[in-house]
Structure formats: structure tokens, C-alpha cells
Structure 1
Amino acid sequence: MPLTFSSMLRPRWLAPAFCLLAVTVLAKAWHWDERAWLWLQELGVGQSARAASVWLPGYRAVIQAKPLAGLDDDEPSDLTYNPASQTLFTVTGMDPQLVELSLTGEVLRRIALVGFANPEGVAMLADGNMAITDERRRTLSIFKLSPLTLELNALDTAERDLGFADSGNKGFEGIAWDPARQRLLLGKERTPTALFSWSSDGGPSLSGAMQPLPSEQLYMRNLSALSVDPRTGHTLVLSAQSSLLLELDERGEPVSFISLLGGFNGLHRKIPRAEGVAIDEQGTIYMVSEPNLFYVFRKEPAAAKAN
């Protein structure tokens, strides 16, 4: 078959086209489209602003993929830090429980959650009060928690309806207590992925109605969990589907982020499905992932000194 001008050019076009297709597929699979915009914004953060923030790029995993003993089939969701006991709490959806953990991921106590269908969010409030969201029932409950509590019953407290009756399994997964602004933060998982606030003094009462917050700059495929840094007041937003932890300032603007993929921030492997995040008064970050894995991130000495 004689060579023609078009047949000679065809291989030259095939290679670039294949490379472009491969890059596009990888960009979607690894969420480069989301990270590129966040990375550009992160470049514009000055040194003084970094010093006044959590600044996630300085963190490295120091405990990773540690199994939570006895929670193999329970699928832990969300995580909150209790400064009074210096312990963590997570909730499980398969067998509704509130589980207390040590800061190194040891199971300390299991508390039965009676009357719950699918607890997904948990937040420690003030004076021993704890808030729990039930995604399937679209409710928020606030309980008094003591060191001797072994059971919490949804019928023992007034439940708040979170709305979005058609959300199904895409309801409220994230919840965090913001003591500086006297409010609860709530995050809706998907359709839409959005943030809300509800005025609260950290007790069993809530004031007014839940209010929407600006959520256009989340750049996430879903929202799994929330936590508020007690030092800066900044919010940490976790996304399992985007494998991303994002820091927002007091105006809701992105400040910094880290990828939860293997090879980044000291992670040997990707966090399978990050479902909970908490931060303590020292700035240590804790995470839980389905099916039953525990992670701890700390800021490297050089990064901490630079801040």
C-alpha cells in the first residue's frame, strides 16, 4: 500500500491524542481538577497568614491504617475530640454505637445508641454535651455524656429535624462545635454538598433556625466530616470521595489542603474511605476510615517552627 501524506501524519496525531486521553482519565481518577485550583489558591497565602492557620501541608502521618480492635464490621463514621477526657469519640452505623477511643486508637468504651437508624455525625459540645446526627432519619440529638454512660436513647431527648426529606443517604454527615462563634457547623454530604450553621451555646438548646453558609469553594465530590481548630477557629472539611482534607478560614475561604492519597504527607497508601476528622488543642489531627482504620497526623518540627 503506497504511503500518502495523510497516512504519514496519522501516527503523529495518534500519540498526542492518546496522551491527552490518558491525562484526562488520570485527572478525573486522581481528582487533579479539584486539587489544581486549591493549589493555586494555596500559593497565594502569605507567610503571616500561614502562621495564623493550621497549614495542612506541614503535616505528616505518624500513625496510619491502624485497625480499630473489634470494629471490623461496624464502619466508624465521623470523629470528635473531648478536651475534658482527652479522648476521641466515633459513631458506627452498622450496629449503632458511640465508641470512645484513646489518642492512639485503642477502643476504651462502647455506648449503645438506641433508636438510631444510621448515626453519621458526632460532635463534643460544652459541659459534657454531645450532638449526634442520624443521616437516614435526618435528625440531630443532643445528650449529656458522663464517664459512666453506657447507653443513649433517641427518645430521651428532643430531636431536631434537619430537613431535606428527599436526601436519602446523602444527608448530614459532618457536624462540629465552634465555641468561638457559639454555633454548630453541619455539613450535607451531597446533592448539594453544603455547609450550614445553627446558633448554640454548647448546651441542649439551639437558637433560631439552621442557616446556610457559603459553600461554593469546597471543590469536593462529597463532604464526610467537619472539625474546628480550637486555636485558630478554622474549619477542617473532609471528603472521602475526593481523598482530601481542606482548611477553611473564618470567612469560609480555602487556606490549605492535603491529599489523602498514598505518597503524600507521609502516607504509604491511600486512606480507603476517610469518614471522620478531629483536631486537638495541640494541633494534632486524627482520622478514621472505613472499614476500621485509624490515622494520626502531626506537624513536622520544621513546619511548626516556620509557623
Structure 2
Amino acid sequence: MSNLLSRLWRPRRLLLVFVVLVVAVLGYTQRWLGQGLYWFDERNVSQSQRDASIWLPGYRAVIQAKPLADLDDDEPSDLTYNPESKTLFTVTGMDPQLVELSLDGEVLRRIDLIGFSNPEGVAMLSNGNMAITDERRRTLSIFKLSPLTIELRAIDTQEFDLGFADSGNKGFEGIAWDPAQQRLLLGKERSPTAMFSWSSDGTAGLEGKMVPLPSDQLYMRNLSALSVDPRTGHSLVLSAQSKLLLELDEHGQPISFISLYGGMNGLHKSIPRAEGVAIDEQGTIYMVSEPNLFYVFRKEPESPEPATAEVPAS
């Protein structure tokens, strides 16, 4: 009987393996095809549209793989820019902290996050308000940050439940405030990779419920971080596993992208695991990668059109 069962199970096992392989190949193929569509769509963007967008193909790495001092084992995640202090903030998950950085990647301040479990996302709101997402606790915490803050207790923040109780370690990693549309953007890492919005004026309150956004054009293996450009209102969507940074317009349509592989956009080596992105009012893009690396991208000035020599009249 056991031999018979073994003979019956063998072809089914082979079929199962085949199906798994097909699904995996199709998944990766779809994402590569999707990125091919991004590239094709970029070719059809007019110059006026490029001028009104971030236009990522014009960026080059000017600081790359700079170690963040004393953050070797802390795994910095996400990044946000504070226009008032002209500094950056990231969060760490191994030892929950909010860390303030200079614009060239120097550690300025550490703030202990007491009662937080696995902070993954951070966003600067308005008037000194800040938001942090805790992936393990599935919460969004909003609080007032001052220059003198040295510790923050979760119990002292305004907390909101993000749902997805069964998401485990695949919850919300991306968060950004969109002042033009008065909303928070939230990104779920995977299973599924998706984006949501939640009405907010940038203070401690949220209005209504979290609303899903169209995410069928996010050809990414995961979603690591979000940021909103204060000049154009366009969004930056970062994927560590796909090594991709994507620009979406105010309607959520892809506009441009860059690859984070070595040899692309001035990168000497691939970014190992990009976990956070931020953009300032000048359009400079900042990025952090695990284990503790810091990057800066700036847009290269466009070369002027060559002058056309005048032909003398005969």
C-alpha cells in the first residue's frame, strides 16, 4: 500500500513544484515587464511634463554608501525631512529610536522610543507634529516633536489602529504627509503591496478612514518607503527588493523611475537594501539603506542646446 501511495504522490509532487516555479517566474517576469513599461512611458513624457515633475532620470548619486556612525546594528528604516530644522529623521527597529541626521548623514540626536516594538515608518507633518508607524503593533502614532525631546513614550502619543491583524512582518512601512492634498500616504510592504490615504491636516487628528489607492501599477516586490515632493506634489515610492525608486504624479500615475543597481545614476555599487527616502524643498533626494548606509542624489543641470550657427546671407 505504501508503495502505491508513493507512486501516486510522486507525480502530484512534481506538478506542485512545477506550479510553484511557474508562479514565481510569472511574478518576477511581470515586475520586469512592468519596469519595462515604466521605461517605455518615460519616452513619451513631454519636456513640459518633465519640467513639472521630479524627473528621476536626471539625478546622480553625490554621496553614496556613507556609514551612519554608531548605527551598525540598529537597522535604520525610513527617512523624513524636517523643513524647519533642515535635518532628517530615521527610525531604528532593533533598538527602537528616532534618530536625527544632518543633510550629509551625521548623527545629531537619538530619541528613545519607549513602548514601541518595531518602528518602520516616519513622517514629518506640520507645526512640529510627526508620525511613526509600528509594523509589529500595527499602529500609527502622532506626537509633537520639540528640539529638546530626548525620549518618547507610545502611551503619550495619539495612536490609530492600521488593521491587517494577520500581516505579521508584512505590514505598513511607508508613510508620508501630502500637504497639498491634506492626507497621509501609507504603504503596505507586501502581501499585498498596496498604498492607502488617510485625510489629515498635518496635526494630531485624522479624519474618516484609511482609503485604498489604486496600486495595480506598482510593479514592485515590496514597498519600503514613501515621500512627497513639496514642489510638485508628486510621490516617491521606494522598493528595497526591486532596487527601484518610482515617481507617481498627484493622480498616482507613474512618471519616472531610477534603478538602484550599481552603474546606474552614478552609483558605484548597488544599494544593498534601501529602506528610506526623503526629498527637500530644493529637490535633493536622501536615502538610507540597511545595515547603516546613507546616500544623497542631486539633479544634474541640463546641458544647454547647442547654438545654431547663422549662415551669412549671400
Q: Give the Cα separation in 2 of the matches to 1:146 and 1:286.
A: 23
Tell me which residue corresponds to 2:22.
none
Q: Give the Cα separation in 1 of the matches to 2:111 and 2:159.
A: 19
Q: Give the Cα separation in 2 of the matches to 1:183 and 1:224.
A: 19
Tell me which residue corresponds to 2:274.
274
**How far apart are 1:32 and its partner, in Å?**
3.7
Whichever residue aligns with residue 127 of structure 2, its letter is D
Q: Alpha-carbon deviations, 1:117-138, whole Å to 9, x = none? A: 0000000000000000000010
Q: Give the Cα separation in 1 of the matches to 2:214 and 2:58.
A: 27
**How far apart are 1:35 and its partner, in Å?**
2.1
Q: Alpha-carbon deviations, 1:273-301, whole Å to 9, x = none? A: 00000000000000000000000000001
Tell me which residue corresponds to 1:133.
133
Query: Is the 2:143–2:158 contact (alpha carbons within 8 Å) kept by the matching residues of 1?
Result: no
Q: Give the Cα separation in 2 of the matches to 1:253 and 1:244.
A: 16
Q: Give the Cα separation in 2 of the matches to 1:272 and 1:201.
A: 35
Tell me how many residue pairs correspond in the alignment.
280
Whichever residue aligns with residue 150 of structure 2, its letter is L
Q: Give the Cα separation in 1 of the matches to 2:41 and 2:302.
A: 23
Q: How does 1:87-166 map to 2 (within 5 A)?
A: 87-166=87-166
Q: Alpha-carbon deviations, 1:81-104, whole Å to 9, x = none? A: 000000000000000000000000
Q: Alpha-carbon deviations, 1:153-181, whole Å to 9, x = none? A: 10002311000000000000000000011
Q: How does 1:49-88 map to 2 (within 5 A)?
A: 49-88=49-88
**How far apart are 1:44 and its partner, in Å?**
1.4
Q: Give the Cα separation in 2 of the matches to 1:191 and 1:96.
A: 25
Q: Give the Cα separation in 1 of the matches to 2:64 and 2:165.
A: 37
- TM-score, normalising length: structure 1: 0.89
SS state at 1:57 partner: helix
Q: Give the Cα separation in 2 of the matches to 1:145 and 1:155.
A: 15
Q: Give the Cα separation in 2 of the matches to 1:122 and 1:199.
A: 17
Tell me which residue corresponds to 2:232.
232
> Sequence identity, in percent?
80
Q: Give the Cα separation in 1 of the matches to 2:28 and 2:227.
A: 27
The more displaced of 209-218 and 84-93 is 209-218
Whichever residue aligns with residue 133 of structure 2, its letter is T
Tell me which residue corresponds to 1:251.
251
SS state at 2:302 partner: helix
SS state at 1:104 partner: coil
Q: Give the Cα separation in 1 of the matches to 2:157 and 2:94.
A: 22
**How far apart are 1:43 and its partner, in Å?**
1.1
Tell me which residue corresponds to 2:4.
none
Q: Give the Cα separation in 1 of the matches to 2:191 and 2:28.
A: 19
SS state at 1:276 partner: strand
SS state at 2:48 partner: helix
Tell me which residue corresponds to 1:13.
none
Q: Give the Cα separation in 1 of the matches to 2:243 and 2:34.
A: 11
- TM-score, normalising length: structure 2: 0.87
Q: Please give the root-mean-square deviation of Cα atoms over the aligned residues, in Å.
A: 1.6
Tell me which residue corresponds to 1:19.
none
SS state at 1:301 partner: coil
Unaligned runs of 5+ in 2: 1-24, 306-314
